[in-house]
């Protein structure tokens, strides 16, 4: 991301021009899809006219997507409006005076109108918003756990299971209103496909031993998973109905947490070699494994590949749990803060992850990777973990 300094032009009587550097209040942060994790400045915006729920929604949406709030005199973008039954929203570029959004929102709840306004503002900047997206997660622990879904900010929480047994690792099937997850409903760890639009539940993997960590492919046609059917823990891939099962790994130890490259050609996972954990990738068609270096951190696990293909976010276990990100080809890892089990948003910059508190509880939080700004998903009470953001 580049910083462009705007200059004031002063016209002299003789037709000469004198240029002076603008003050810091006149610095414009150019919006770019490329960023350096943890190194970017939040984009300054001002907010006026909104109150109550509308203001709260707008502030959260913007904070977890790289904006910070300031006065109109120092803001880059001026957001204003109000909500009297329906929401009216305006967004103006203070530098060039362009009106980016000037719209009234109707036909939905005030919350959704506020989300839509922020999404429209981001679209005007050439970015993808997350206001209409959903997350899945595990609520509770052990035999008292359930799979739940909610809006990304925690609103509208809905339990998908009510089995009163162990469930784990929900993962959205891209392009479908469906989840894959693990469950002990048959008294062993099996993998299920749950069509949320019809309620239909089908078994994907029920082999001897463990059947865990389902990860549907970007086109929703396949699923990667970790099975111990051969006596060792290995990575497998199958069609989304569980057919045409193929084994992809044999040489690594303790494979876990598969995720897909956005083009569907590679599967990344965590695995041990000589008792040292690392990130690896393997072609979906089969072939040699390739190590993904994560320089500067140790013991990586729980990877997730960004939808734009540029980054892999993961958990590093170094005394505590640390959220880290590395270029998809590997390299120097950036530590972003304490937490674990991250999942990318569709915008390839925000992640939902788990934070532990001192009493052992776990809560979901949102992180803007470029600026490291965070917000808890405060609407969700109780113990929540293993989030998955719908793509």
**Number of domains observed in the structure of the chain:** 2
Asked whether residue 154 falls in the same domain as residue 114, the answer is no
Q: Which tens digits make up the pLDDT trace of 38-96?
A: 999 999 999 999 999 999 999 999 999 999 999 999 999 999 999 988 999 999 999 99
Asked whether residue 108 falls in the same domain as residue 189, the answer is no
Q: Is the pLDDT of residue 283 over 90?
A: yes
Can you give the residue range of the structural domain that contains 7? 3-124
Indicate whether 322 belongs to any domain.
yes
CB 387, CB 133: distance < 8 Å: no
Asked whether residue 155 falls in the same domain as residue 256, the answer is yes
CB 123, CB 145: distance < 8 Å: no
Indicate whether 246 belongs to any domain.
yes
Asked whether residue 141 falls in the same domain as residue 204, the answer is yes
CATH number of the domain that residue 242 is part of: 2.120.10.30
Pairs from 281-288 (Cβ < 8 Å, separation ≥ 24): 282/235, 282/248, 282/249, 284/217, 284/222, 284/237, 284/248, 284/260, 286/246, 286/248
Say what the pTM is: 0.91
Indicate whether 222 belongs to any domain.
yes
Indicate whether 158 belongs to any domain.
yes
Asked whether residue 275 falls in the same domain as residue 178, the answer is yes
Collapsing DSSP to helix, strand or coil, 143 comes out as: helix
**Torsion sign, CA atoms 205, 207, 211, 216:** negative
Task: State the DSSP H helix or E strand holding residue 101, giving kind and residue range, or none if neither.
Answer: strand 99-105
CA–CA distance from 189 to each of 148, 159, 239, 324 (Å)? 19, 20, 19, 29
The residue out of 67, 102, 124 marking a domain boundary is: 124
With cut-offs at 50, 70 and 90, classify the pLDDT of residue 6: very low
Q: Is the pLDDT of residue 286 over 80?
A: yes
Asked whether residue 214 falls in the same domain as residue 261, the answer is yes
pLDDT given at position 251: 67
Indicate whether 129 belongs to any domain.
no
CA distance 76 to 67: 10
CA distance 7 to 27: 9
Asked whether residue 198 falls in the same domain as residue 257, the answer is yes
In Å, the largest CA–CA distance within the chain is: 89
Full DSSP string of 44-78: EEEEES--HHHHHHHHHHHHTTTEEE--TTT-SEE
Residues 6+ away with beta carbon under 8 Å from 177: 195, 196, 197
Asked whether residue 97 falls in the same domain as residue 236, the answer is no
With cut-offs at 50, 70 and 90, classify the pLDDT of residue 274: confident
On the 0-12 / 13-18 / 19+ scale of CB atoms within 10 A, 335 is middle
Indicate whether 120 belongs to any domain.
yes
Helix axes 110-124, 52-63, angle to 10 degrees: 40
Residue 244's Cβ-side half-sphere holds a number of Cα atoms within 13 Å equal to 9
CATH number of the domain that residue 67 is part of: 3.30.160
The residue out of 89, 124, 159 marking a domain boundary is: 124
Answer left, alpha or beta for residue 163, where phi above 0 means left and psi between -120 and 50 means alpha: alpha
Asked whether residue 150 falls in the same domain as residue 78, the answer is no
Asked whether residue 53 falls in the same domain as residue 177, the answer is no
Asked whether residue 93 falls in the same domain as residue 178, the answer is no
CA distance 280 to 258: 10
Indicate whether 226 belongs to any domain.
yes
Indicate whether 295 belongs to any domain.
yes
Q: Is the pLDDT of residue 127 over 80?
A: yes
Least confident of 20-34, 99-113, 215-229: 20-34
Q: Which tens digits make up the pLDDT trace of 18-54?
A: 222 233 446 777 777 789 999 999 999 999 999 999 9
The residue out of 93, 124, 155 marking a domain boundary is: 124
Q: Is the pLDDT of residue 12 over 50?
A: no
Q: Select from 180, 200, 178 the least CA-distant residue to 191.
A: 180
Asked whether residue 226 falls in the same domain as residue 337, the answer is yes
CB 269, CB 255: distance < 8 Å: yes
């Amino acid at each position: 991301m580049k910083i462009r300094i705007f200059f004031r032009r002063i016209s002299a009587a003789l037709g000469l021009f004198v240029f002076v550097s603008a003050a810091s209040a006149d610095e414009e942060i150019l919006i770019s899809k490329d960023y350096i994790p943890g190194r970017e400045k939040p984009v300054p915006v001002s907010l006026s006219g909104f109150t109550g729920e509308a203001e709260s929604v707008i502030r959260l949406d913007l904070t977890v997507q790289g904006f910070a709030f300031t006065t109109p005199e120092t803001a880059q973008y001026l957001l204003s409006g109000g909500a009297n039954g329906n929401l009216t929203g305006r967004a103006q570029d203070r530098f060039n005076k362009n009106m980016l959004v000037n719209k009234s929102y109707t036909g939905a709840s005030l919350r959704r109108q506020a989300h839509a306004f922020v999404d429209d503002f981001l679209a005007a900047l050439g970015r993808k918003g997350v206001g209409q997206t959903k997350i899945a997660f595990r609520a509770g622990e052990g035999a008292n756990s359930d799979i739940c879904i909610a809006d990304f900010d925690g609103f509208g929480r809905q339990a998908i299971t009510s089995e009163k047994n162990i469930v784990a690792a929900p993962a959205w099937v891209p392009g479908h209103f469906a989840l894959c997850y693990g469950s002990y409903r048959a008294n062993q760890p099996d993998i299920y496909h749950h069509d949320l639009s019809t309620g239909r539940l089908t078994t994907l993997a029920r082999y001897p031993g463990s059947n865990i960590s389902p990860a549907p492919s970007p086109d929703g046609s396949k699923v990667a998973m970790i099975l111990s059917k051969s006596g060792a823990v290995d990575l497998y891939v199958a069609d989304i109905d569980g057919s045409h099962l193929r084994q992809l790994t044999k040489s690594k130890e303790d494979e876990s947490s598969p995720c897909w490259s956005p083009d569907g050609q590679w599967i990344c996972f965590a695995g041990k070699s000589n008792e040292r954990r690392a990130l690896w990738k393997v072609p979906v068609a089969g072939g040699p494994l390739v190590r993904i270096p994560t320089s500067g951190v140790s013991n990586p696990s729980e990877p997730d590949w960004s939808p734009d293909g540029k980054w892999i976010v993961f958990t590093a276990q170094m005394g505590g749990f640390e959220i880290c990100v590395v270029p998809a080809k590997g390299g120097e890892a950036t530590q972003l803060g304490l937490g674990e089990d991250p999942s990318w948003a569709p915008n390839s910059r925000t992640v939902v992850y788990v934070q532990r508190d001192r009493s052992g509880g776990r809560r979901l939080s949102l992180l803007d990777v470029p600026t490291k700004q965070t917000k808890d998903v405060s609407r969700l009470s109780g113990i929540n973990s293993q989030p998955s953001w719908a793509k």
